[in-house]
Protein backbone atom coordinates (compact mmCIF):
# COMPACT_ATOMS: atom_id res chain seq x y z
CA UNK A 1 0.00 0.00 0.00
CA UNK A 2 2.81 2.35 0.88
CA UNK A 3 4.60 1.63 -2.43
CA UNK A 4 1.46 2.38 -4.45
CA UNK A 5 0.96 5.73 -2.71
CA UNK A 6 4.60 6.59 -3.19
CA UNK A 7 4.64 5.87 -6.94
CA UNK A 8 1.31 7.65 -7.43
CA UNK A 9 2.75 10.77 -5.74
CA UNK A 10 5.86 10.52 -7.93
CA UNK A 11 3.73 10.36 -11.10
CA UNK A 12 1.67 13.37 -10.00
CA UNK A 13 4.83 15.41 -9.40
CA UNK A 14 6.26 14.40 -12.81
CA UNK A 15 3.00 15.38 -14.54
CA UNK A 16 3.02 18.74 -12.78
CA UNK A 17 6.65 19.35 -13.76
CA UNK A 18 5.94 18.42 -17.40
CA UNK A 19 2.97 20.79 -17.51
CA UNK A 20 5.09 23.61 -16.04
CA UNK A 21 7.92 23.07 -18.58
CA UNK A 22 5.43 22.88 -21.45
CA UNK A 23 3.84 26.15 -20.41
CA UNK A 24 7.25 27.80 -20.25
CA UNK A 25 8.24 26.56 -23.75
CA UNK A 26 4.95 27.18 -25.55
CA UNK A 27 3.89 30.29 -23.72
CA UNK A 28 4.04 33.64 -25.49
CA UNK A 29 5.18 36.88 -23.86
CA UNK A 30 2.26 39.19 -23.17
CA UNK A 31 2.46 42.89 -22.27
CA UNK A 32 1.87 43.65 -18.59
CA UNK A 33 -0.50 46.54 -18.02
CA UNK A 34 0.85 48.89 -15.37
CA UNK A 35 -1.80 50.27 -13.03
CA UNK A 36 -1.06 53.89 -12.22
CA UNK A 37 -2.47 54.86 -8.83
CA UNK A 38 -2.96 58.59 -8.47
CA UNK A 39 -5.78 61.12 -8.48
CA UNK A 40 -6.60 63.33 -11.45
CA UNK A 41 -8.58 66.55 -11.56
CA UNK A 42 -11.76 64.62 -12.47
CA UNK A 43 -11.41 62.46 -9.35
CA UNK A 44 -11.43 65.45 -6.99
CA UNK A 45 -14.61 67.13 -5.75
CA UNK A 46 -15.03 70.89 -5.63
CA UNK A 47 -12.85 73.91 -6.33
CA UNK A 48 -9.73 74.21 -4.12
CA UNK A 49 -10.54 77.76 -2.98
CA UNK A 50 -14.33 77.77 -2.80
CA UNK A 51 -15.97 74.34 -2.47
CA UNK A 52 -13.37 71.85 -1.19
CA UNK A 53 -13.42 70.23 2.25
CA UNK A 54 -10.74 72.71 3.31
CA UNK A 55 -12.79 75.69 2.07
CA UNK A 56 -15.74 74.52 4.18
CA UNK A 57 -13.55 74.03 7.26
CA UNK A 58 -12.17 77.54 6.93
CA UNK A 59 -15.58 79.10 6.33
CA UNK A 60 -17.05 77.52 9.50
CA UNK A 61 -14.05 78.72 11.56
CA UNK A 62 -14.47 76.35 14.52
CA UNK A 63 -11.62 76.34 17.06
CA UNK A 64 -12.13 72.64 17.81
CA UNK A 65 -11.84 71.68 14.15
CA UNK A 66 -8.78 73.89 13.61
CA UNK A 67 -6.97 72.40 16.60
CA UNK A 68 -7.91 68.84 15.57
CA UNK A 69 -6.63 69.19 12.00
CA UNK A 70 -3.90 71.85 12.24
CA UNK A 71 -2.88 72.08 15.88
CA UNK A 72 -3.77 75.79 16.22
CA UNK A 73 -6.96 77.70 17.00
CA UNK A 74 -8.57 80.22 14.64
CA UNK A 75 -6.94 83.23 16.33
CA UNK A 76 -3.45 81.74 16.03
CA UNK A 77 -4.08 80.73 12.42
CA UNK A 78 -5.10 84.28 11.51
CA UNK A 79 -2.05 85.74 13.28
CA UNK A 80 0.27 83.42 11.32
CA UNK A 81 -1.63 84.10 8.10
CA UNK A 82 -0.89 87.84 8.19
CA UNK A 83 2.85 87.27 7.75
CA UNK A 84 2.39 84.16 5.61
CA UNK A 85 0.13 86.05 3.21
CA UNK A 86 2.75 88.76 2.60
CA UNK A 87 5.38 86.14 1.74
CA UNK A 88 2.93 84.14 -0.38
CA UNK A 89 2.10 87.14 -2.55
CA UNK A 90 5.69 88.21 -3.08
CA UNK A 91 7.37 85.05 -4.44
CA UNK A 92 6.83 82.80 -7.45
CA UNK A 93 6.28 79.08 -6.93
CA UNK A 94 9.17 77.23 -8.56
CA UNK A 95 8.43 74.87 -11.45
CA UNK A 96 10.13 73.96 -14.73
CA UNK A 97 8.19 76.43 -16.89
CA UNK A 98 8.24 79.40 -14.47
CA UNK A 99 10.90 82.06 -14.00
CA UNK A 100 11.74 81.97 -10.26
CA UNK A 101 12.62 85.67 -10.36
CA UNK A 102 9.44 86.66 -12.20
CA UNK A 103 6.28 88.21 -10.79
CA UNK A 104 3.98 85.69 -9.03
CA UNK A 105 0.78 84.85 -10.94
CA UNK A 106 -1.60 84.86 -7.97
CA UNK A 107 -4.79 84.54 -10.03
CA UNK A 108 -3.57 81.29 -11.58
CA UNK A 109 -2.74 79.53 -8.30
CA UNK A 110 -4.87 76.61 -7.15
CA UNK A 111 -4.67 77.72 -3.50
CA UNK A 112 -4.56 81.15 -1.90
CA UNK A 113 -2.32 81.98 1.08
CA UNK A 114 -4.79 80.56 3.62
CA UNK A 115 -4.95 77.33 1.63
CA UNK A 116 -1.16 77.09 1.48
CA UNK A 117 -0.86 77.62 5.23
CA UNK A 118 -3.69 75.16 5.90
CA UNK A 119 -2.03 72.57 3.66
CA UNK A 120 1.32 72.66 5.44
CA UNK A 121 -0.30 72.69 8.91
CA UNK A 122 -2.41 69.65 7.99
CA UNK A 123 0.75 67.92 6.76
CA UNK A 124 2.64 68.74 9.97
CA UNK A 125 -0.16 67.84 12.38
CA UNK A 126 -1.64 64.66 10.91
CA UNK A 127 -0.34 61.28 9.78
CA UNK A 128 -2.10 60.54 6.51
CA UNK A 129 -1.52 59.37 2.96
CA UNK A 130 -0.80 62.09 0.40
CA UNK A 131 -3.98 61.28 -1.51
CA UNK A 132 -6.00 62.22 1.60
CA UNK A 133 -4.47 65.70 1.55
CA UNK A 134 -5.26 65.93 -2.15
CA UNK A 135 -8.91 65.10 -1.47
CA UNK A 136 -9.19 67.61 1.39
CA UNK A 137 -7.76 70.47 -0.67
CA UNK A 138 -9.02 69.26 -4.08
CA UNK A 139 -5.58 69.45 -5.71
CA UNK A 140 -3.70 66.98 -7.90
CA UNK A 141 -0.54 65.13 -6.71
CA UNK A 142 1.88 67.40 -8.60
CA UNK A 143 0.23 70.56 -7.25
CA UNK A 144 0.13 69.13 -3.72
CA UNK A 145 3.86 68.27 -3.74
CA UNK A 146 4.83 71.64 -5.22
CA UNK A 147 2.69 73.69 -2.83
CA UNK A 148 3.85 71.70 0.20
CA UNK A 149 7.50 72.38 -0.60
CA UNK A 150 6.82 76.07 -1.18
CA UNK A 151 4.61 76.46 1.93
CA UNK A 152 7.10 74.72 4.23
CA UNK A 153 9.80 77.20 3.24
CA UNK A 154 7.48 80.18 3.77
CA UNK A 155 6.24 78.89 7.13
CA UNK A 156 9.80 78.48 8.41
CA UNK A 157 10.63 82.06 7.38
CA UNK A 158 7.45 83.36 9.03
CA UNK A 159 7.99 81.53 12.33
CA UNK A 160 11.53 82.87 12.60
CA UNK A 161 10.13 86.42 12.62
CA UNK A 162 6.99 85.74 14.68
CA UNK A 163 7.47 86.77 18.31
CA UNK A 164 4.78 84.48 19.72
CA UNK A 165 6.39 81.46 18.00
CA UNK A 166 9.72 81.84 19.80
CA UNK A 167 10.65 79.32 22.51
CA UNK A 168 11.92 81.34 25.48
CA UNK A 169 13.06 80.01 28.85
CA UNK A 170 11.60 81.98 31.83
CA UNK A 171 14.93 83.15 33.22
CA UNK A 172 13.49 86.06 35.21
CA UNK A 173 11.37 85.82 38.34
CA UNK A 174 8.58 87.88 36.79
CA UNK A 175 7.71 84.99 34.47
CA UNK A 176 8.10 82.20 37.03
CA UNK A 177 5.95 84.15 39.49
CA UNK A 178 3.25 84.32 36.84
CA UNK A 179 3.34 80.57 36.09
CA UNK A 180 3.71 79.27 39.66
CA UNK A 181 0.26 80.31 41.03
CA UNK A 182 -1.46 78.72 38.03
CA UNK A 183 -0.11 75.33 39.13
CA UNK A 184 -0.56 75.91 42.86
CA UNK A 185 -4.21 76.87 42.34
CA UNK A 186 -4.97 73.30 41.22
CA UNK A 187 -2.27 71.47 43.20
CA UNK A 188 -1.69 73.40 46.46
CA UNK A 189 1.27 71.23 47.55
CA UNK A 190 3.26 72.02 44.39
CA UNK A 191 4.82 75.33 45.34
CA UNK A 192 7.24 77.34 43.20
CA UNK A 193 6.72 75.09 40.18
CA UNK A 194 6.57 76.79 36.78
CA UNK A 195 6.51 74.03 34.14
CA UNK A 196 6.24 70.38 33.14
CA UNK A 197 8.81 68.14 31.40
CA UNK A 198 7.83 65.28 29.13
CA UNK A 199 9.71 63.02 26.72
CA UNK A 200 8.30 62.31 23.28
CA UNK A 201 9.29 59.69 20.69
CA UNK A 202 8.70 60.28 16.98
CA UNK A 203 8.75 57.11 14.82
CA UNK A 204 11.29 57.22 11.96
CA UNK A 205 12.17 54.97 9.03
CA UNK A 206 14.92 52.38 9.55
CA UNK A 207 18.28 53.64 8.27
CA UNK A 208 20.40 51.53 5.91
CA UNK A 209 23.56 52.26 7.89
CA UNK A 210 23.84 49.73 10.74
CA UNK A 211 25.40 52.14 13.27
CA UNK A 212 22.77 54.81 12.57
CA UNK A 213 20.04 52.18 12.74
CA UNK A 214 21.32 51.03 16.11
CA UNK A 215 21.50 54.60 17.47
CA UNK A 216 17.82 55.24 16.77
CA UNK A 217 16.58 51.84 17.98
CA UNK A 218 14.64 52.03 21.25
CA UNK A 219 14.96 48.72 23.05
CA UNK A 220 12.11 49.50 25.45
CA UNK A 221 9.54 49.80 22.64
CA UNK A 222 11.39 47.66 20.04
CA UNK A 223 11.10 50.36 17.36
CA UNK A 224 13.10 53.21 15.80
CA UNK A 225 12.55 56.76 17.05
CA UNK A 226 13.83 60.31 17.31
CA UNK A 227 13.65 61.33 20.97
CA UNK A 228 12.61 64.79 22.08
CA UNK A 229 12.12 66.44 25.47
CA UNK A 230 9.62 69.30 25.74
CA UNK A 231 9.01 71.64 28.67
CA UNK A 232 5.58 73.28 28.93
CA UNK A 233 4.36 76.21 30.99
CA UNK A 234 0.94 75.77 32.67
CA UNK A 235 -0.73 77.90 29.98
CA UNK A 236 0.46 75.47 27.27
CA UNK A 237 3.42 77.54 26.05
CA UNK A 238 6.49 75.51 25.05
CA UNK A 239 9.35 77.10 27.02
CA UNK A 240 12.12 74.64 26.12
CA UNK A 241 12.62 71.96 23.47
CA UNK A 242 15.33 69.40 22.74
CA UNK A 243 14.56 67.74 19.41
CA UNK A 244 15.62 64.76 17.29
CA UNK A 245 18.04 63.01 19.65
CA UNK A 246 18.79 59.32 18.89
CA UNK A 247 15.96 57.07 20.05
CA UNK A 248 18.30 54.81 22.04
CA UNK A 249 19.02 57.64 24.49
CA UNK A 250 17.08 57.77 27.75
CA UNK A 251 15.00 60.90 28.40
CA UNK A 252 17.22 61.88 31.32
CA UNK A 253 20.29 61.86 29.04
CA UNK A 254 18.55 63.80 26.27
CA UNK A 255 17.64 66.50 28.79
CA UNK A 256 21.24 67.57 29.54
CA UNK A 257 20.72 71.05 28.06
CA UNK A 258 17.59 71.45 30.20
CA UNK A 259 19.59 70.62 33.34
CA UNK A 260 22.00 73.43 32.48
CA UNK A 261 19.09 75.88 32.30
CA UNK A 262 17.69 74.66 35.61
CA UNK A 263 21.08 75.08 37.29
CA UNK A 264 22.25 78.38 35.87
CA UNK A 265 19.32 80.17 34.22
CA UNK A 266 16.40 79.72 36.62
CA UNK A 267 15.41 81.96 39.57
CA UNK A 268 16.42 80.45 42.89
CA UNK A 269 13.93 78.06 44.45
CA UNK A 270 11.79 77.46 41.36
CA UNK A 271 11.26 73.96 39.99
CA UNK A 272 9.72 71.94 37.15
CA UNK A 273 7.50 68.85 37.35
CA UNK A 274 8.22 65.56 35.57
CA UNK A 275 7.42 61.85 35.54
CA UNK A 276 9.72 59.10 36.83
CA UNK A 277 11.90 59.20 33.67
CA UNK A 278 13.82 62.15 35.11
CA UNK A 279 15.95 62.30 38.28
CA UNK A 280 14.00 63.37 41.34
CA UNK A 281 16.83 64.44 43.63
CA UNK A 282 20.54 64.57 42.72
CA UNK A 283 23.61 66.26 44.14
CA UNK A 284 23.87 68.25 40.94
CA UNK A 285 20.27 69.43 40.55
CA UNK A 286 19.12 69.31 44.15
CA UNK A 287 15.33 69.67 44.16
CA UNK A 288 15.00 71.48 40.82
CA UNK A 289 12.83 68.65 39.44
CA UNK A 290 9.69 67.44 41.22
CA UNK A 291 9.01 63.83 40.23
CA UNK A 292 7.10 60.89 41.76
CA UNK A 293 9.10 58.47 43.89
CA UNK A 294 10.17 55.30 42.11
CA UNK A 295 9.54 51.85 43.52
CA UNK A 296 12.24 51.11 46.07
CA UNK A 297 13.15 54.76 46.74
CA UNK A 298 13.74 55.66 50.37
CA UNK A 299 11.77 58.69 51.51
CA UNK A 300 13.70 61.37 53.47
CA UNK A 301 13.03 61.65 57.17
CA UNK A 302 12.61 65.42 56.92
CA UNK A 303 10.09 66.85 54.44
CA UNK A 304 11.37 69.35 51.89
Residue 12's pLDDT band (cuts 50, 70, 90): low
Please tell me which residue, 21 or 191, carries the higher pLDDT value: 191
174 pLDDT above the threshold of 60: yes
CB 63 within 8 A of CB 73: yes
Helix segments in the chain, DSSP class H: 2-26, 53-60, 63-70, 74-90, 113-125, 130-137, 141-161, 173-186, 210-215, 251-254, 256-264
179-219 pLDDT tens trace: 999 999 999 999 999 999 988 888 888 888 888 888 888 88
Domain borders along the chain are 41-164, 173-290
**Residues of the chain with pLDDT > 90: what percent?**
26
Which whole number is the average pLDDT over 64-70?
94
Calpha distance 261→165 (Å, rounded): 20
Is the pLDDT at 1 greater than 50? The verdict is no
- Which of 29 and 288 is assigned the larger pLDDT? 288
| Residue 92: CB atoms within 10 Å | 15
Output the pLDDT for position 301.
65
Q: Which residue has the higher pLDDT, 299 or 262?
A: 262
Asked whether the beta carbons of 167 and 267 are under 8 A apart, the reply is: no
Instruction: Indicate whether this model's pTM tops 0.75.
Output: no
Radius of gyration, CA atoms only, the chain: 29
Q: What is the pLDDT of residue 23?
A: 62
pLDDT band for position 221 (cuts 50, 70, 90)? confident
Q: Give the tens place of pLDDT for each residue, 80-124.
A: 999 899 888 887 777 666 666 667 777 778 889 999 999 999 999
Q: What is the pLDDT of residues 23-46, one digit of tens each?
A: 656 665 655 565 667 778 788 888
Give the integer Cα–Cα distance in Å for 162 and 141. Answer: 31
Amino acid sequence: MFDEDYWRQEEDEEDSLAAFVGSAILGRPTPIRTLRTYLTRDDLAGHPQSSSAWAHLRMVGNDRAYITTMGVDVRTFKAMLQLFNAAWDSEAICRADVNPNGAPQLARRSLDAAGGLGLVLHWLSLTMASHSLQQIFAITPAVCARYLKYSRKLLLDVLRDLEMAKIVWPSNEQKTKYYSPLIKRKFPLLTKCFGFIDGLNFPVMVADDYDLQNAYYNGWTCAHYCSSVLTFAPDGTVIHAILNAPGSWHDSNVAEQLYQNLQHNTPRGYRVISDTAFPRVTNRLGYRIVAPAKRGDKLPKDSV
